[in-house]
Structure 1
Amino acid sequence: MEVLPLLLACSLLFTIATPIRDIADACTSQINGFAHLNSSGVHLTLHHPQSPCSPAPLPFNLPFSAVVTHDEARVAHLASRLASNDDASSRRPTSSLPLLHGGHRKNKASVAASLASSVPLTPGASVGVGNYVTRLGLGTPATSYVMVVDTGSSLTWLQCSPCSVSCHRQAGPVFDPRASGTYAAVQCGSSECGELQTATLNPSACSRSNVCIYQASYGDSSYSVGYLSKDTVSFGSGYFPDFYYGCGQDNEGLFGRSAGLIGLAKNKLSLFYQLAPSLGYAFSYCLPTSSAAAGYLSIGSYNPGQYSYTPMASSDLDASLYFISLSGMSVAGSPLAVSPSEYGSLPTIIDSGTVITRLPPSAYRRGHGRRAPRADVLDPGHVLPGHRRGAARPGRRHDVRRRRDAEAGAPERARRRGRLHDVPGLRADRRHGDHREHAAADVQRGLRRRAVQDRLRRRRLQLRARPALVDSS
C-alpha cells in the first residue's frame, strides 16, 4: 500500500569535447538561436552545468558520486514533501507514481504553451551543481546574476550584501540592496510574508525592525535564510517592478557558484506567477542537447497553432509541483510492455532539479534485457521512495563511494546484481553487511537535526538585522 511517485528529471549530465577555437563562435550562435520565439515575451538562455558558454564555467571533473548523492537527497526531499501533504491517503489510489528525466527528451511539446518570455537555459555543473542556470537582472540600475532554475521550488532568492551570517562563493559580485534605487524590504504582516509558509514549506519570522524573514530549505540540506524583499527584475530590455524575492543573508549548500535560485513552481511568490499577469500563464523551456549547446526558458503566450501540447495533470499530492500523465515508454526504439494503467494511476512529476529519472518497478521489470547502447550506473530498482500515512520512507539501500583500494589510474567498477560495469570514480557495493546508509535516509536525519538549528538561525538573523538593509524601504 505504498505511493511510489514516478519522477521525470529535467537536469542533464554529460560532457562533450569542443575545440577551444570553436567555442566563441558556438556561444555567439546560441545567443541568436531563439529568433522563432514570440518577441512579446521574456526569453532567457539556459546553460548546461559543464558548458564552455556558461557564465560561470566549472572544471570538467565533477565526481559522479557527488551527483548521485545530491540526486538521491533531492528525491528524498520530494518524497518527504509528498508525505507531508498526504493527509488523506485513504482517498488516493495505491500505485507507483513515476519520476521522469526530461533532459534526454528532444520533444518539448509537453510544456505548457501560454508563456512567450524565453530565457536561455544553461546546465549548472558549470557553477558547481547539476542543474541548468541562466541570468537574471535585478535592481536599479540592473545588475546580472547567474541563477539556478528550479521548477520544484517557489521562492526566488539570491545572496545579498552584507551577508550577515554566511555567503558561498559566487560568480560575480554579491547583490547590494543599498546600490539599488528601487529596493524595499517587505514588512511582517504583509500578504507576501504570509505566503512564505506555502512557498517555502517553512514558517516566516520577523526581525527587530519588523522585516519579514524567509527560510528556504532543500532536500540536499542546502538552505537560504534572509529578508523577503522587492525590487525591479529585468530580462534584457524588459523590466518588471515590485518583484518579490529573498535577499539571502545565510546561504549554504550545493549552489555552486550561482548567486541564487529562480523558483518556477505553482505559487504566488514564484517568478512565473509574478510575471504571468503581464506575459501570460504559461512557460516553456528547451534543454540543450549537449554541453556545447544552449537552451532557453520562455515565459509568455504563444500562437497555439504552431505547437503540439501535452496537457498538464492535476494532482492533490502537491499543489506547487508540475505533473503530466505518462502513457508509455520506449527503450532503444522498442516500446516497453507496460500498460497505460500502470503509469496512469498517479501522475508523473516533472522536476528540473532531479538528474536521474525514477520509474515504477513494473517498468523496470518489463524493460529488463532491453538496454540502450550506454552503460547504466544505478540499480534499476531506484524509484522515488514511497510514503504512507504521512511518513516518508527511504528506498532500497545502496552504497555509493570511492573505491579506497583502487590503484592510480585503475578503472572503478560498480557491482550490481552480479554484473560489473566500468564507472569512473565510484563503486556501488551491495554485499550484505557492507552498506553505508542510503543518501535519502541521511537527508531525513539531517533535516530533523537541522530543525533546531533553523530556529536558532532565524533568531540569530533577528539579532543581526542591519539597519542599512532593513531601513532601505
Structure 2
Amino acid sequence: MATRFSSFVRCILYIYSFSTFLCLHAHEARETTESYHLHHTHTVQVSSLIPSSTCTASTKGPKREASLTVIHKYGPCFQSNKDQLLVLNHTELLLQDQSRVNSIHSMFSNNSDGNKLRESQATTISAKSGLPIGDGNYVVTVSLGTPKTNQTLAFDTGSDLTWAQCKPCAGQCYKQVDPIFDPSKSTSYTNISCPTPLCTQLTSTTGSPRQCSNSKCVYRVDYGDGSFTTGYFSKERLTIISDAVDNFIFGCGQDNEGLFNGIAGLLGLGRGQVSLVKQTAQKYSQFFSYCLPSTTSSTGYLTLGKDSEISSSLKFTPMLTLSQRQSFYGLNLTGISVGGQRLSIPTSVFSTAGTIIDSGTVITRLPPTAYNALRTTFRQMMRNYPMISSSDPLFDTCYDLSKSQSVSIPNISFFFGGGVSLDLNKVGILYVLGQTEACLAFAGNTDPRNITIFGNEQQKGLEVVYDVVGERIGFRPGGCS
C-alpha cells in the first residue's frame, strides 16, 4: 500500500514538474518573442503617419552660419501652401519620380563599361551635368544679388548647375513664391561673355547645345520629364544665411517651362565643377550634410562645411564614382535585412549595376531579385494587416490600416561597404497614399542591369554627410526627428 502511495506521489510530482517546465519554457519563448519584436519592429500610431496641417520646426541639427532650413515643397512649412498654390498629388508626384528614374537609368544604359563603379578620384573629376530632375520636393532659401533677394530653390545631389528665374523672362517664366530675380537691380551681377574660354568650358560641361546670344554665354538644361530651363551663364553674389559667395556662377533663366511650379529654381549639389560644392570648395572644403524632414509638415536642414569634431555616431562608407556619370554619388550596397533577418541576396545582384544615393528620387529602386526578397519577407511579417490593391501602379504591397490604431512595422536595414549597417527611420518604410492606405515604400527595377537608387523617402530623418575630399558618405540616425 505504501509503495502504491509513494508511486502515486512521484507521479503527481512528475506531472507538476513537467507542467512547470512547459510553463517556464512558454514564458521564456514569449519573452524571447517580445524581445525580438521590440528590437526588430517599429510600433507607431497610425495617426502619426498622416502629415499634420501645421508646420512643426525641428529643434535638432547644426546651429551654424551656413545651415539652411529644409522644407517639403508640398507641406505647410512652404509659404505658397498658405495660398493653396501647391497641393500634394501622389499620382502626379510618383509619375514625376518615375520620369526621373527613367532619365537616370537611360544615362547609365549607354555606358560601355557595364555601369561599374570605381573608388572616387576627387581631384580628377570632370564636370558633367545630371539631367534627371523635373520637380524637386525638398527646398531651401538662399539669397541672390546686392541687395539680397530671397530665392527658394530645390536642392539636388544629382545636378550641378544652380539656376534661378530671371527678369525680364524673355521667353516664359512660371509662377513662383518669391519675387523673380531682377539682375538689373543688383550691383554684383555680371553676364559671362561669349565667345570666351570660360563660356566654352561651361557650355561643354553642362551639355548646352549653343554658346552665344548677343555676346552673352547661353545655357540650356533639358530634364527627363520634358521640363527645361534656358538663359544666360552669369556671376552673382550668393548668400547662404550670412555667408557670402562672390562671383558664383549660375544660370539666369529666361525661358523656364515644365514642372517647377512654386520654386525659384535649382541648387546643384552634384560633383561637377560648376556645382555649389565645387565652387565653394575653399570655404566649405567640399563637405555638406542634410537631414530630410520626417514628414511634409516638419523641417530639416542643409549644412555646408563641417564641425571641428565629427560625431562619433556617424557611420562612414566609401564614396564611389560612376565612371561615366561623375556628378552622382555612388555607394557600395551589399545587402538588406528585414525584421532582423538578413535576406539571401548575392552581393553580385547589387554590384552588377551599382548604386547611387539621390536626394531627388523619392522611392528607392532595387534590383528585381533584391526587391522580390524584400517584398516576400515584409509581407510575411505584416500578415496581421489586410493587404489591398494599390491606388498607384508603382506599389504592389499595400495595407488597409483603417481598423488599426497602431501598426508594427518590420525594421529594414541596408548594409554598405566598410561594414556599415544603416537602420532606416520608421517613416521611410511605408509610403502613405491616403488616410488608411500605406504601401511598402520601395520598387523594383524592371531590368537587373538598371542602377539601384537610394531615394529620399528612405533618407528621411537621417543625417546624411558628404565628405567629397575624404571620399566617404556618412549616416547618423535621428538627425532631425
What's the TM-score, normalizing by structure 2? 0.62
- Note the aligned Cα RMSD (angstroms): 3.0
Counterpart CA distance in 2 for 1:332 and 1:130 is 32
Change (3 A) 1:321 1:366: same
Counterpart CA distance in 1 for 2:219 and 2:207 is 10
Query: Does the Cα contact within 8 Å between 1:196 and 1:204 map onto a contact in 2?
Result: no
Counterpart CA distance in 2 for 1:378 and 1:317 is 32
For structure 2, list consecutive stretches of 5 or more residues without a partner in the other structure.
1-47, 118-133, 398-431, 436-445, 447-481
User: What is residue 65 of structure 1 aligned with on the other side?
Assistant: 91
Counterpart CA distance in 1 for 2:194 and 2:149 is 27
More strand by share: 2
Which amino acid in 2 is paired with 1:316? S
The 3-state SS of whatever aligns with 1:168 is: coil
The 3-state SS of whatever aligns with 1:296 is: strand
Instruction: Tell me the CA shift for residue 189 of structure 1.
Output: 3.5
Query: Does the Cα contact within 8 Å between 1:194 and 1:204 map onto a contact in 2?
Result: no
Counterpart CA distance in 2 for 1:184 and 1:228 is 9
Which amino acid in 1 is paired with 2:147? P
Residue-by-residue CA offset, 1:19-39 (whole Å, 9 max, x unaligned)? 65xx4xx34xx3x543x45x3
2:167 to 144, 161, 179: 161
Counterpart CA distance in 2 for 1:276 and 1:55 is 31
2:143 to 130, 137, 145: 137
User: What is residue 74 of structure 1 aligned with on the other side?
Assistant: 100
The sequence identity of aligned pairs, in percent, is: 36
Which amino acid in 1 is paired with 2:376? G
2:76 is aligned with 1:56 = no
2:296 is aligned with 1:291 = yes
User: What is residue 419 of structure 1 aligned with on the other side?
Assistant: none
Instruction: Tell me the CA shift for residue 272 of structure 1.
Output: 1.4
Residue-by-residue CA offset, 1:215-252 (whole Å, 9 max, x unaligned)? 01111111100011111000111111000000000000
The 3-state SS of whatever aligns with 2:79 is: coil
Instruction: Tell me the CA shift for residue 201 of structure 1.
Output: 2.7
User: What is residue 231 of structure 1 aligned with on the other side?
Assistant: 236
Residue-by-residue CA offset, 1:91-113 (whole Å, 9 max, x unaligned)? 666xxx9xxxxxxxxxxxxxxxx
Query: Does the Cα contact within 8 Å between 2:115 and 2:322 map onto a contact in 1?
Result: no
The 3-state SS of whatever aligns with 1:148 is: strand
Instruction: Tell me the CA shift for residue 268 of structure 1.
Output: 1.1
User: What is residue 400 of structure 1 aligned with on the other side?
Assistant: none
Change (3 A) 1:186 1:347: same
Q: In the comparison of the two structures, how many residue pairs are matched?
A: 327
Query: Does the Cα contact within 8 Å between 1:171 and 1:258 map onto a contact in 2?
Result: yes
Matches within 5 A, 1:181-200: 181-200=187-206
The 3-state SS of whatever aligns with 1:304 is: coil
User: Which structure's CA Rg is the greater one?
Assistant: 2
Counterpart CA distance in 1 for 2:185 and 2:87 is 37
User: What is residue 253 of structure 2 aligned with on the other side?
Assistant: 248
Matches within 5 A, 1:447-462: none
Which amino acid in 2 is paired with 1:271? L
1:218 to 218, 223, 247: 223
Instruction: Tell me the CA shift for residue 60 of structure 1.
Output: 7.5
Change (3 A) 1:236 1:367: closer
Change (3 A) 1:19 1:160: closer
Structure showing greater relative contact order (alpha-carbon pairs closer than 8 Å, 6 or more residues apart): 1
Matches within 5 A, 1:16-415: 16-18=50-52, 20=54, 23=55, 26-27=56-57, 30=58, 33-34=60-61, 36=62, 39=64, 42-57=66-81, 61-84=87-110, 86=111, 88-89=112-113, 129=135, 131-208=137-214, 210-302=215-307, 303-304=309-310, 306=312, 307-371=314-378, 377-378=392-393
Change (3 A) 1:246 1:283: same
Instruction: Tell me the CA shift for residue 281 of structure 1.
Output: 1.5
Residue-by-residue CA offset, 1:398-427 (whole Å, 9 max, x unaligned)? xxxxxxxxxxxxxxxxxxxxxxxx9769xx
Counterpart CA distance in 1 for 2:136 and 2:165 is 19
Counterpart CA distance in 2 for 1:19 and 1:262 is 27
Counterpart CA distance in 2 for 1:92 and 1:261 is 27
For structure 1, list consecutive stretches of 5 or more residues without a partner in the other structure.
1-13, 98-127, 383-421, 426-437, 439-473
Change (3 A) 1:333 1:253: farther
Query: Does the Cα contact within 8 Å between 2:203 and 2:218 map onto a contact in 1?
Result: no
